[in-house]
Amino acid sequence: MTFSTVIKILGSNPYVAPPTEVLHVIFQQAKKKTSPISVKGKLNGAPFQKSLVRYQGEWRLYINGQMAKNSKLPFKGSVVNVVGQKVVIELLFDQNPPMYEIVPALKAELDKNEQAKKAFEHLPRGRKKEICRYLGSLKSKDAVDRNVTRVIHHLLGEKTDALYALMHRKKEDALRG
């Protein structure tokens, strides 16, 4: 299913909103109408794998920097530069979405700290996936260890020296469980 649209922005996150007829086909293929739904496709001819999510009542396909670069959009160091660009999207339900395993360093730390483990288990599935995806993408052991420490500190409700999507939760939410 192919459609043309203009990239919009919500906060600092560029996205496209697929048309209703495209969504209906994806819902049928996915056999669900709840967020997230794994999709794959092409942005201006460049392939991608993402999740289609419903946020504030609208289904959205967020456009990240790698997608912008691959599709030759005017990225210029920030994805906000792609807002207002007309794009062609090919979108299909992805029956085989990528799986992100918990990295051994995080598993070991969670096994040592019951409170952090409980907080991690109570995170929404999407947050756990994003943490595992991010940690799994790091190249050096030092970077993995440094970021695992940040995640553990946050799960325990402590301040960290970096900001992540995970960090937007309140301390009480991190410790609830």
| Residue 172 confidence (pLDDT) above 90 | no
Model confidence pLDDT, tens digit, residues 71-124: 999 878 788 889 999 999 999 999 988 777 899 999 999 999 999 999 999 988
For the chain, the domains span 2-93, 104-168
* Lookup: tokens for 69: 């670069």
pLDDT score recorded for residue 57: 93
pLDDT reading at 168 higher than 60: no
Q: What is the pLDDT of residue 27?
A: 97
Per-residue pLDDT, 75: 79
- DSSP characters over the chain: -EEEEE-EEETTEEEE---HHHHHHHHHHHT--SS-EEEEEEETTEEEEEEEEEETTEEEEE--HHHHHHTT---TT-GGGGTT-EEEEEEEE-SS----PPPHHHHHHHHH-HHHHHHHHTS-HHHHHHHHHHHHH--SHHHHHHHHHHHHHHHTT---SS--GGGGS-HHHHH--
pLDDT tens track for 59-75? 999 998 889 999 999 87
| Mean pLDDT, all residues of the chain | 87
pLDDT of residue 163: 53
Task: Provide the β-strand partners of residue 108.
Answer: none
- Residue 9 CB coordination number (10 Å): 14
**C-alpha span between 120 and 127 (Å, rounded):** 9
Top-tier CATH class for 2-93: mainly beta
- Mean pLDDT value across residues 131-158: 90
Identity of residue 168: H
- Average pLDDT in the 39-43 region? 97
Say yes or no to pLDDT of 9 above 80: yes
The pairing of beta strand 86-93 with beta strand 2-6: antiparallel
Q: Per the confidence metrics, is the pTM higher than 0.75?
A: no
